[in-house]
């Protein structure tokens, strides 16, 4: 039989591990067990034979193979060498820090700070690495040429949406953000060809956002999804999918790392759009900065 059709999965240059953890929720339970082992210690996994790994994950070899295919590999040997390469690249001292994990109960604040910063920084870096420049380019182009840009997001992602809106607005793009679903739906219904709708949802399962994005799409707008999970429902209603790479999936820290990752992507898009017309953007930024000047008190000074 021919190659399986496969879902894109094509783009995971930044990191196989990141890629895998992104797809984690889209995997079946047994495959997830395998995935977790692999993510937890890629180097060790690379050393194992398929039977070994299957046993460790309490499943069969068949499932391991299925897992390989699910993450875009041809088979186990390929996964193995990719993992080995990956593990080698991240010479990063694994350190005592809990990567992506929970904060240990007895931790003092210094530890907490270190752990959080580590995870946050990591999310930003890994997000950038796996971000597909080509997809970004297209999104930037769409935004730059859009008649109007609607940005949707609920809860924590709402902040990001709002932030994005503000940024675009500051460089003279016509952008909107709606905290309310009804208003958002109304707005989406008024979109048309040449407009852009951007939906932000970390999990990719926020029905409100999906619904609105779908509406926008049926009206002919270009739809963009920003999510951590490349196979989540929101991607089905999006023309372009941009993914973040935050490992945290628990509610633990209120999804801060994921938010930072989202903001990073937003920044990239923003700068990309601004770069399309530097002088105009610069002028707009200066004007807006000036506008708030009267709300600033005298410069930074040494105090008595």
- Residue 68 as a binder of DNA (CB under 7 A): the answer is yes
- Residue 189 as a binder of its own copies (CB under 8 A): the answer is no
Q: What does the block give as tokens for 151?
A: 């940005």
Shortest Å, Cβ 194 to its own copies:
22
Q: How many residues does the chain have?
A: 304
Q: What does the block give as tokens for 248?
A: 């945290």
Binding residue (CB under 7 A) for DNA from 13, 77, 192, 194:
77
- Residue 166 as a binder of its own copies (CB under 8 A): the answer is yes
- Residue 26 as a binder of its own copies (CB under 8 A): the answer is yes
Q: What does the block give as tokens for 56?
A: 């460790």
Evaluated on CA atoms 203, 229, 186, 271, the torsion sign reads: positive
Angle at 114 between CA 112 and CA 117, to 5 degrees: 105
Binding residue (CB under 7 A) for DNA from 43, 58, 117, 289:
58
The binder of 278, among DNA, its own copies, none, by C-beta within 5 to 8 A per type, is its own copies
Q: What does the block give as tokens for 44?
A: 């060790």
DSSP helix/strand/coil, 153: strand
Count Cβ atoms below 10 Å from residue 273 Cβ, excluding itself: 23
Q: What does the block give as tokens for 73?
A: 């590999």
- Residue 80 as a binder of DNA (CB under 7 A): the answer is yes
Burial class of residue 150 in the structure, from the number of CB atoms within 10 Å of its CB (0-12 exposed, 13-18 middle, 19+ buried): buried
Residue window 8-37: x/- pattern of binding to DNA, with contact defined by CB under 7 A: --------------------xxxx------
- Residue 207 as a binder of DNA (CB under 7 A): the answer is no
The binder of 284, among its own copies, DNA, none, by C-beta within 5 to 8 A per type, is none
CA dihedral of 261, 265, 267, 269, whole degrees rounded to 10: -170
Please state whether 194 falls in left (phi above 0), alpha (psi between -120 and 50) or beta. left
Which residues contact residue 170 at a Cβ distance below 8 angstroms, ignoring those fewer than 6 apart? 284, 285, 288
Number of chain positions touching DNA (CB under 7 A):
24
Shortest Å, Cβ 192 to its own copies:
26
Please give the Cα distance from 175 to 295 (Å, whole number): 25
- Residue 55 as a binder of its own copies (CB under 8 A): the answer is no
The binder of 220, among DNA, its own copies, none, by C-beta within 5 to 8 A per type, is none
Among 81, 80, 123, smallest CA distance to 100 is for 123
Residue window 245-264: x/- pattern of binding to its own copies, with contact defined by CB under 8 A: ------xxxx-x--xx--xx
Shortest Å, Cβ 300 to its own copies:
4
- Residue 239 as a binder of its own copies (CB under 8 A): the answer is no
Binding residue (CB under 7 A) for DNA from 35, 37, 59, 247:
59
Residues 98-127 binding DNA (CB under 7 A) are: none
Residues of this chain that bind DNA (CB under 7 A): 1, 28-31, 49-51, 58-63, 65-66, 68, 74-77, 80, 301-302
């Amino acid at each position: 039989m021919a190659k399986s059709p496969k879902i894109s999965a094509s783009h995971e240059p930044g990191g196989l591990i990141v890629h895998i953890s992104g797809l984690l929720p889209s995997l079946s339970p047994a495959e997830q067990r395998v995935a977790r082992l692999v993510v937890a210690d890629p180097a060790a996994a690379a050393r194992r034979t398929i039977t070994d790994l299957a046993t460790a994950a309490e499943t069969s070899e068949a499932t391991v193979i299925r897992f390989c295919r699910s993450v875009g590999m041809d088979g186990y040997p390929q996964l193995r060498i990719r993992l080995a390469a990956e593990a080698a690249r991240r010479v990063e001292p694994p350190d005592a820090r809990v990567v992506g994990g929970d904060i240990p109960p007895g931790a003092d604040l210094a530890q907490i700070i270190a752990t959080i910063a580590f995870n946050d920084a990591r999310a930003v870096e890994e997000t950038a690495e796996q971000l597909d420049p080509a997809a970004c380019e297209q999104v930037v182009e769409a935004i730059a040429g859009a008649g109007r840009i609607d940005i949707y997001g609920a809860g924590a992602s709402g902040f990001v949406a709002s932030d994005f809106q503000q940024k675009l607005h500051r460089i003279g793009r016509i952008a909107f953000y709606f905290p309310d679903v009804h208003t958002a739906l109304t707005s989406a219904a008024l979109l048309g060809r040449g407009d852009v709708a951007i939906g932000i949802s970390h999990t990719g399962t926020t029905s409100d956002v999906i619904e609105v994005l779908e509406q926008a799409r049926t009206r002919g707008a270009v739809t963009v999804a920003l999510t951590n999970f490349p196979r989540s429902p929101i991607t089905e209603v999006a023309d372009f999918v941009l993914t973040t790479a935050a490992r945290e999936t628990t509610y633990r820290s209120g999804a801060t790392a994921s938010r930072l990752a989202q903001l990073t992507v937003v920044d990239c898009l923003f700068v990309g759009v601004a770069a399309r017309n530097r002088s105009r953007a610069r002028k707009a930024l200066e004007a807006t900065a000036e506008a708030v000047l009267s709300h600033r008190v005298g410069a930074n000074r040494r105090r008595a």
